[in-house]
């Protein structure tokens, strides 16, 4: 599907065979470190393009689509943070990766927690941006009912595009319109809206139960104006306290701090790499 320009190299999608279908990913860069970029619900790996290019000077960078999104297959029997966590684990094992950093967003933060708990030797660092990591977080019954009606049928893809753009309340990336339109077109493909809804309602219980077992270094990045949280800093503080981690607030940023300031994000990732 997407193409990514990194270090002057045009990188087309590759595919990883999971148990029930293929997962789309790109690979750029070189180095002894390996970075896996995992997007949030309803987003694709292309949203990491700027960060991937910066980090590719210091590491081999893989950008993975979620099940049912981007270039990945639809038709999986289930979707959610635990499933994505298992896909990350399988990808690391199949490619025999070490010195791994997982950079995640939204729902996939719970997936990063799962993967780190499964592979403590391989996963050195996890970076959780705009993170949802605990059960019962985010959607009440009314929002679930509303979302179930909004993100289906012929209007579903357009509704997601509008919602997605609202998650950047102050700082609009230069490619926001083109990327959100890309997401809209992707969600029009058969089976993708159904996958999206499954992820929105998926439980995080298994991932949350592993929070305290993570041995990797953990960094939390949160936008101070993230619309998905009643109090973004309070949530970042809670995760940091539970995981013996540090957190950084991005003033005025929304749900995608890594996209709104990729240079700052890359600098913070490099700093945590240097910590013992």
Residue 1 lies inside a defined structural domain of this protein? no
Host domain of residue 102: 14-274
Residue 262 lies inside a defined structural domain of this protein? yes
pLDDT at 82: 94
Please tell me what DSSP assigns to residue 204: -
pLDDT at 147: 64
pLDDT at 13: 87
Residue-wise pLDDT tens digits, 109-151: 999 999 999 999 999 999 999 999 987 655 544 456 566 666 6
The distance of Cα 168 from the centroid of its chain, to the nearest Å, equals: 16
| Integer Cα distance of 85 and 183 in angstroms | 22
Residue 168 lies inside a defined structural domain of this protein? yes
Residue-wise pLDDT tens digits, 175-220: 999 999 999 999 999 999 999 988 888 888 888 888 999 999 999 9
pLDDT confidence band for 10 (50 / 70 / 90): very low
pLDDT at 9: 41
Q: Residue 186: how many CB atoms within 10 A of its CB?
A: 23
Per the CB < 8 A criterion, the answer to whether 208 and 133 are in contact is yes
CATH no. for residue 235? Answer: 3.40.50.1820
Sequence length of the chain is: 276
| Integer Cα distance of 226 and 212 in angstroms | 25
pLDDT at 43: 97
Question: Position of tokens 């087309």?
Answer: 12
Mean pLDDT, rounded, for 17-40:
95
Residue 263 lies inside a defined structural domain of this protein? yes
pLDDT at 1: 45
Residue 28 lies inside a defined structural domain of this protein? yes
Is pLDDT of 257 > 70? Answer: yes
Give the total number of structural domains in the chain.
1
pLDDT at 8: 38
């Amino acid at each position: 599907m997407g193409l990514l320009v990194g270090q002057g190299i045009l990188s087309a999608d590759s595919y990883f065979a999971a148990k029930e279908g293929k997962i789309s990913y790109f690979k750029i860069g070189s180095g002894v470190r390996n970075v896996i970029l995992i997007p949030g619900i309803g987003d694709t790996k292309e949203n990491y393009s700027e960060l991937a290019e910066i980090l590719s000077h210091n590491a081999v960078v893989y950008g993975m689509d979620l099940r049912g999104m981007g270039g990945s297959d639809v038709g999986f029997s289930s979707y959610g943070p635990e499933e994505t966590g298992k896909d990350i684990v399988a990808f690391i094992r199949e490619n025999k990766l070490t010195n791994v950093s997982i950079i995640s967003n939204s729902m996939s933060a719970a997936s990063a927690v799962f993967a780190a708990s499964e592979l403590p030797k391989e996963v050195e660092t996890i970076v959780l941006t705009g993170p949802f990591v605990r059960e019962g977080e985010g959607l009440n019954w009314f929002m679930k009912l509303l979302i179930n009606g909004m993100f289906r049928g012929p209007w579903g893809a357009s509704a997601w595009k509008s919602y997605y753009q609202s998650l950047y309340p102050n700082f609009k990336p230069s490619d926001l319109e083109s990327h959100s339109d890309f997401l809209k077109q992707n969600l029009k493909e058969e089976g993708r809206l159904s996958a999206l809804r499954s992820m929105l309602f998926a439980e995080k219980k298994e991932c949350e139960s592993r929070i305290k077992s993570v041995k990797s270094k953990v960094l939390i990045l949160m936008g101070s104006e993230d619309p998905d949280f009643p109090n973004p800093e309070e949530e970042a503080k809670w995760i940091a306290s539970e995981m013996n981690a540090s957190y950084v607030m991005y003033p005025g940023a929304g749900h995608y701090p890594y996209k709104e300031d990729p240079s700052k994000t890359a600098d913070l990732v490099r700093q945590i790499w240097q910590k013992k």
